Every structure is written in C-alpha cells, then in structure tokens.
C-alpha cells in the first residue's frame, strides 16, 4: 500500500522565510539607491490607485519609487545619527509615518516638485471619502449624468439594491421622483460609492504630495509640510500594505 502524504512531517529548519528574504532585499536596494541618487524624497498619495502610481513611475524614467513597510525602509536608511548610512538621513526615516513612500532621483528640487505635484488623475471615490459635490438623478428614465446614456434593463435590481427606488416600466429603468445620491461633504457609504461609479462621477483626485527631501551632497534635510498638520499627527506608525513599487 502506498504511503499516505497527509501525515508527513516537515522540519521547520528546512523551510524558507520569504518575508525575511523580502526585507533583506528591500534593505539592500534602498541602500543602493542612496548611493546612486542625489536626492531622497518622502511622498504621500491622496486617493491612492496603484495603476496611476505605476503609470507615473514609468514616466519618471530612471528615478526610483519604493512603497513598503516603513520600519524596514527606515532601518535601511538608519533611524538615528549613529545608525544612518549618510549624514542627515535619519530625518528621512523619522518622516516615514503613515501611507508614504520613498522617491530617489537625480533631478533638482524645482524640477521634481513640478513633475510630481502636477501629476493628477480623476478617480472614482471610495467609501469613507467625502463627496466633492451634490449628485442628483432626475425623475423619469434613469440616465448617466452628462452623457445621458441609459442603463440596460438588467441593471435595475442592482440599482435598487444600492438604495435607488427604481422601477422597470416597459423595459426602461425609471424613477418616480428625483433621487439624491449624495450631498456635498457627505462621508460616502459603500452603496453611495458604487452608485457614483455606475453614474461615472469621478469626484476624487489621485495626487502625489511631496513631504520632505534630503540632499546627498550636503546632507540638507528640508520639510515641506506643517508639523502641526492633524492628518500627519494621527497617521499610522507603519504602512502594512507591504508594496514595493521599485
């Protein structure tokens, strides 16, 4: 009778830790980037969307982006003056708080700020975002905003499940009265965010925000944000997304 594979014992000493290896690789590549580039920036992203960040990264040519666990990136740079791998880099480590990343480049400060701060893209808002403006669907046949495009009738149950009091009349999706999807300033629910996507309302903006930089030639560190910013003060101490955009 062949041996059962269900009861096989695997010694833990023989297994490989991918997580440990991944961290070692981040430490190595971040330190190599410090050697290669003149400037190290810390950036945050408003209304994060991976597809747009990857698109922007590609447009920046030889510059490099890193987003991962903040503690690992900070360790690569050095958390204290005694540990830092170049003078002043511990200030960059201290700025790695919340959903932020590192940007390495040889471009000058003005060129970098112009390139990153002008890159924006309109995106659909997610649950928890604030509504940028009021959205109302008029009574009668349901149509998509500015395009006035109608919905296929098989969408009616889905719209109704999302809170719209729709009816199906002669194969058309109808409303007996105006329906307000959201008011300006509303904290959007999952249902509202789904409806806004169905009606093609891209009211959120993907935007890269530069927070500070370090210059290798003189060890200069410059902060571009107000330390009293409540958003920065309440940010999480570590980004658990564990992404590496490099």
> What pLDDT digit, counting tens, does each position of 46-104 carry?
888 877 888 878 777 788 988 878 999 999 999 999 999 999 999 999 999 988 999 99
Q: How confident is the model at residue 35 (pLDDT cuts 50, 70, 90)?
A: very high
Find the range with the poorest average confidence among 38-42, 148-152, 187-191, 229-233. 229-233
Contact at 8 Å (CB) between 126 and 46?
A: no
Residue 2 pLDDT > 70:
no
Rounded to 5 degrees, φ, ψ at 50 are -55, -40
| CA dist., res. 16 & res. 33, Å (int) | 27
User: What are the tens digits of pLDDT across the range 206-240?
Assistant: 888 899 999 998 889 999 887 555 444 433 333 33
User: What are the tens digits of pLDDT across the range 174-207?
Assistant: 999 999 999 999 999 999 999 999 999 999 888 8
What percent helix, strand, coil does the chain show, rounded to 5? 35, 25, 45
| CA dist., res. 99 & res. 236, Å (int) | 8
Domains of the chain, each with CATH number or no CATH = 21-122+205-233 (3.30.70.1730), 135-198 (3.90.105.20)
- Beta strand 120-123 with 140-141 is unpaired
Rounded mean pLDDT, 37-51 = 88
Contact at 8 Å (CB) between 173 and 141?
A: yes
Which residues neighbour 162 within 8 Å (Cβ) at sequence distance 6 or greater? 191, 194, 195, 198
What is the residue-wise DSSP string for 163-217? T---EEETTEEEESS-EEEE-TT-B--HHHHHHHHHTT---EEEEEEEEEEEETT
**Hey, how many other C-beta atoms are within 10 angstroms of the C-beta on 29?**
15
Of 121, 113, 28, 110, the C-alpha closest to 77 is 28
């Amino acid at each position: 009778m062949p041996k059962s594979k269900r009861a096989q014992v695997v010694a833990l000493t023989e297994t490989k830790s991918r997580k440990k290896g991944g961290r070692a690789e981040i430490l190595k590549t971040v330190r190599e980037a410090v050697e290669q580039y003149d400037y190290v920036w810390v950036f945050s992203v408003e209304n994060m969307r991976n597809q747009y960040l990857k698109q922007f990264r590609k447009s920046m040519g030889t510059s490099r982006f890193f987003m991962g666990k903040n503690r690992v990136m900070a360790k690569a740079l050095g958390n204290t003056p005694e540990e830092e791998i170049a003078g002043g880099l511990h200030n960059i480590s201290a700025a790695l708080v919340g959903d932020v990343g590192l940007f390495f480049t040889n471009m000058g400060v003005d060129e970098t700020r112009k390139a990153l701060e002008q890159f924006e893209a309109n995106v659909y808002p997610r649950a928890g975002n604030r509504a940028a403006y009021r959205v109302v669907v008029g009574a009668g046949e349901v149509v998509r905003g500015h395009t006035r495009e109608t919905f296929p009738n098989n969408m009616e149950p889905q719209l109704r499940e999302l809170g719209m009091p729709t009816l199906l009349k002669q194969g058309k999706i109808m409303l007996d009265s105006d329906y307000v999807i959201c008011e300006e300033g509303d904290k959007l629910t999952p249902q509202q965010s789904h409806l806004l996507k169905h009606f093609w309302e891209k009211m959120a903006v993907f935007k890269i925000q530069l927070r500070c930089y370090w210059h290798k030639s003189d060890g200069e560190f410059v902060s571009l944000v107000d330390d009293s910013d409540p958003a920065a003060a309440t940010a999480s101490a570590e980004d658990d997304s564990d992404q590496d955009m490099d």
